[in-house]
Amino acid sequence: MGNTISGTSIIGATMDMTSRAGKEARVAMEIAVDDFNTKTLKNMTLYTTNSKGKLVQAIQDAVNLIDTYKVEAILGLYTLEEVLSVGEISSEAQIPTLSLLDSVPQWALDRLPFLVQASPSQFAQMKAFVAIMKSCGWSQFTFIYEDINSASIQVIPHLMEAIKDSSVQMSNIINLSSLTSSSLLEQLEMIKSQQYRVFLVHTSLEIGVRLFQNAKSMGMMEKGYVWITTNLITDVLHTADPSTFLTMEGVVGLGSFFTDTGSQFHDFSTKFRTKFRIEQPEEENNMPGIFAVRAYDATLIAALTLSEKNMSGQKFMDAVSSQYFAGLSGEVRFFNRKPAASHVFQIINVVGKYYRQLGFWSEGLGFSEVVNDMATYNTSLQSLGHIFWPGKPLHNPTGGVPLRVGVPMMAMFKKFVEVKYDDQHHKFTYNGYSIELFKETVRRLPYYLPYEFHHFNGSYDDLVEQVYLKNFDAVVGDVSVVSWRYQYAEFTHPYTETGLVMIVPFAPYHGQWLFVKPFTLGMWALTIIVNIYCGFVVWLIERNNSPELQGSPLNQTGVLFCLVFTRMFYTNVENVNSNLTRVTTVAWLFTAIIIGQCYTASLTSMLTVRRLIPKVTDCETLKKSNAIVGYDKGSQVASYLVDVLGFKHENIRSFTSPEDYAHSLGNKEIAAVFLAAPYAKLFLTKYCKRFTTVGTTYAEGGFAFAFPKGSSMVPDFTKALLNVSESGTLRDIEERMLGSERCVDQEAIQDEYERLGLGSFWSLLLLAGGTSTIALAIYVMQNLCRLERSSLITIILEARKYWGILVCVAASWVASVWHTMWIPYGAASWSFACGAADDVACGAPVWCDGAELRVRRRANSARARKSVCISLLSY
């Protein structure tokens, strides 16, 4: 095949020579053939045809080249339609076809065995675009593309893949191919009203210029806007006229990269400019671009392959697959009939009447000013120097207009949202828990988001509807998540607890055992014991000198208990015979007075602090009694009370402040109020002694931020809110803005009264008990000294007699009736022996079995009975 006998190889090319790419490619191919023939001294022939951008013409040219000129390879083909049609013809003829299209699908290569993609893929530029977005902190962009051919839309899947694992999202996509001038203006008007103002343009230069002209007329090339172009525009930007640059001023472009500093390129550039100026005099710019470089390399690859042992057909395809070539565009190596994809892209910035090269982006490395072994890479676009964005701002644009955030003015609880007008600075100020939480959440977003607050004086439903009407981009405040509001907006995850609660007044209540509450059980027990003990000591010391303390055992027992509980005995000094009694009484009464006063004060305090119970316990009681209930004005609670809980519309009343609630509840104007759980906490913190929550907690969605339906910011804010909560910052904001939600007074009432215990009075009780014990010890010693018998047994018996007198007092009465009586007591027993002593006066001391006792007379006897002598015996 071909003219191999004469040593001549023929290459054919078909392309649109009316386009800049076709014009550059033709000149570059001719230079490549000339260079090849000069260096190899071979005769390589090139035939070029002009398809004029028409598919039918391209097919006819391909058939003509194969049949008439007997070409051994075909070059060109910049559209996918041309590639598929011509590739089908050349594959049937087994003629290798090298396409200059950089996005030939893999399925086309698999179907057409003689098709080769000669230009490296540029899809990695989408990763470069995402790197710019992340570096500048932009999160949303609009993708504008032109459906030039089937290959142009192949960039979309690669763009989606690039943003998949990043925080960057595509907010809108616009196809300019089907738009008329009027519809283009409508599309621009639509995207102008959106929040985000970053645009990625993937169109031809002609359509791109028309887009920028319309955008400039609409004020969309001013400060705050960001325009980034792909290689479709950037690669031919050097051919544009100065007026185009003025229209596109501030645009940043991503372009294909090739080395333009070597001697090889310098030599090619000189030849190209000379030849291009002659052949294309209508073109103002004669500098070679990426199309010329790729066409030159593809032509040399085809020429070198054909010249090696007359390779053609399948041998050509096999040789290309193993070919390594150092061309103008860099090192070229084919894998599966396509070169390795490009991973380096240049970044340009349109300034004034031309553009300047900012630097480069390399996949896996980042941004750099040069591409060589000495390059320094950085993840920040700012490392390339100052960039002139549209409007020439001093700093990077925000990528969008400030978020218009609606804030309610009629918030009932100002700790959540408070809107005030600052007369000094003539502006509104916004404070409160919801405002501070929103600010902290914005700081946790993975991108910079400017915002500005706008007050709204209306109901909460109307406020949420403003998002749907595009008057606000978001709503921040004490806005509840309610199902019917989803028709106007979407909500983030609630940042407060959910639920609707019922609050009712307290009713006072005291228990029947309140009088024992001032003291603890231990305090009561020890106080009674000490009183009995002190009374017993006084009785024991004074009983021989006071007739009131004598008499029957029953009478003495009564007197003893009277001493204990009246505290009025022996207050007159004349009735006290012993100094020991005086000392004991003073200490006893001193302790009793102090403890009694403390008891009185504690009981008075308890009676002053009311024991409270709710007046109403459930919602049904309110409805049956036709009671009036309250709710916060402008909220969704009104419809919930009527539609869900079944209250009559005339029985619900709106309020605008917590003070109004408290006043109406206290005056019984309303029986209960229904508040969202966060409101209820604040209300009860302030009025914890007067009101309480009762009944079940009704379903309600809590407070959240509202955004437009379908907004991509909802998941971002929800994630940031969770981050604020999990880091503990949410709790800190609650404590700072809402204060403590713990009602100390109310908890004290609900648990127990504060009771007085032994810890407060042990010293007084020790004083009374110790003084009585010392007096008792002295009294016992004085009596022992009077004893005539000093034997050890007598002393022991005497001591036991006094200590056991309290136990024997009851038995003495029984012994006065019976002559002898035995009472078992452990391992010992007490024996009472009676004897006659008619000559002894009643009440006089007598001795019987070594024990001194008094002679008693039976109270019910008309005559003197026998004296009773009680002898105390012990085993």
Give the per-residue pLDDT at 711.
80
Tokens of 206: 């002609």
Greater pLDDT, 469 or 548: 469
First and final C-alpha spacing in the chain: 147
Domains of the chain in start order, with CATH, are 8-120+290-339 (3.40.50.2300), 125-260+341-384 (3.40.50.2300), 403-498+711-736 (3.40.190.10), 501-507+615-700 (3.40.190.10), 514-609+757-783 (no CATH), 787-854 (no CATH)
Q: Three-state DSSP class for 382?
A: helix
**CA 659 remoteness from chain centre:** 32
How far is the C-alpha of 802 from the C-alpha of 809, rounded, in Å?
Answer: 11
Q: Report CA dihedral (516, 521, 525, 527) to the nearest 10 degrees.
A: -60
The pLDDT tens digits for 124-180 are 999 999 999 988 888 889 999 987 666 677 889 999 999 987 878 888 888 887 777
607 has a pLDDT exceeding 50: yes
DSSP string, 9-54: EEEEEEE-TTSHHHHHHHHHHHHHHHHHHHHH--EEEEEEEE-TT-
Q: Which element (helix H / strand E) includes 698?
A: strand 691-698
Tokens of 489: 């907006």
The better pLDDT of the pair 186, 776 is held by 186
Asked whether the CA dihedral 212, 215, 220, 222 is positive or negative, the reply is positive
Helix, strand or coil, per DSSP, at residue 311: coil
Confidence at 22, pLDDT banded by 50, 70, 90 = very high
Residue 872's pLDDT band (cuts 50, 70, 90): very low
What percentage of the chain carries pLDDT values higher than 90? Answer: 27
- Closest Cα partner for 200 from 121, 289, 140, 245? 140
* Range 646-658 average pLDDT: 84
CB contact at 8 A, 69 and 47: yes
CA geometry: angle 235, 241, 247, nearest 5 deg:
90
Whether residue 701 contacts residue 494, with contact meaning beta carbons closer than 8 Å, is answered with: yes
The larger pLDDT score, comparing residue 276 to residue 500, is at: 276
Residue 376: per-residue pLDDT: 92
The answer to whether 849 and 830 have CB atoms below 8 angstroms apart is: no
Inter-CA distances, 874 with 553, 798, 820, Å: 22, 11, 15
Q: List phi, psi (to 5°) of 550.
A: -110, 175
Task: For Cα atoms 435, 436, 439, give the angle at the middle one, nearest 5 degrees.
Answer: 90
Question: How confident is the model at residue 867, as a pLDDT?
Answer: 35
Under 8 Å between Cβ of 508 and 608: no
What whole-number distance in Å separates Cα of residue 266 and Cα of residue 271?
A: 9
Q: What is the pLDDT of residues 63-88, one digit of tens each?
A: 999 999 999 999 988 888 899 999 99
Give kind and range of the element (H or E) at residue 308. Answer: none
Over residues 390-411, the mean pLDDT reads 81
Mean pLDDT within 554-574: 58
pLDDT of 224 strictly over 50: yes
Q: Which of 58-67, 251-260, 509-518, 755-764 has the lowest mean pLDDT?
A: 509-518
In the chain, the amino acid numbered 57 is Q
How many Cα atoms occupy the beta-carbon half-sphere of 9 within 13 Å?
27
The mean pLDDT value of the chain amounts to 79
Distance CA 82, CA 96 (A): 15
Strands 706-707 and 73-76: unpaired
Closest listed residue to residue 800, CA positions, set 837, 751, 851: 851
Residue 221 has pLDDT above 50, yes or no: yes
DSSP label of 836: -
Answer for the pair 351, 249: CB distance below 8 angstroms, yes or no.
Answer: yes
Angle 628-630-633 from CA coordinates, rounded to 5°: 140
Mind giving me the DSSP string for 416-472?
A: T-EEEEETTTTEEEEESHHHHHHHHHHHTSSS---EEEEEE-S-HHHHHHHHHTTS-
Helices of type H across 476-578: 521-542, 553-566
Is the per-residue pLDDT at 870 higher than 50? no
The CB density around residue 858, as the number of other CB atoms within 10 Å, is: 13
Instruction: Taking residues 605-634, report their average pLDDT.
Output: 75
Average confidence (pLDDT) over 587-606: 78
Q: What's the CA gap between 622 and 672, in Å, rounded?
A: 8
Q: Work out the pLDDT band at 661, boundaries 50, 70, 90.
A: confident
- Which H helix or E strand runs over 868? none
Please report, as a single letter, which amino acid is at residue 344: V
Q: How many Cβ atoms sit within 10 Å of the Cβ of residue 837?
A: 16
| Burial profile 261-292: b = 16 or more Cβ within 10 angstroms, e = fewer | eeeebeebbebbeebbeeebeeeebbebbbbb
Exposed, middle or buried, 345 (CB in 10 Å: 0-12/13-18/19+)? buried
With CA atoms as reference, report the closest residue to 700 among 653, 623, 614, 641.
Answer: 641
Contact partners, residue 390, CB within 8 Å, separation at least 6:
221, 222, 223, 224, 225, 226, 227, 249, 250, 251, 397
Measured CA to CA, the distance from residue 521 to residue 517 in angstroms comes to 9
Rounded distance, CA 812 to CA 823, Å?
11
Please report which helix (H) or strand (E) contains residue 398, including its range: none
Measure CA 667 to chain center. 41
Residue located via tokens 């065995």 = 113
Q: 288-302, 503-517, 837-851: lowest mean pLDDT where?
A: 837-851
Mean pLDDT calculated for residue range 465-483: 90
Report pLDDT for 512. 61
- Please give the Cα distance from 283 to 62 (Å, whole number): 28
Q: What is the pLDDT of residues 708-758, one digit of tens each?
A: 888 878 888 999 999 998 888 888 888 888 775 555 444 434 434 566 667
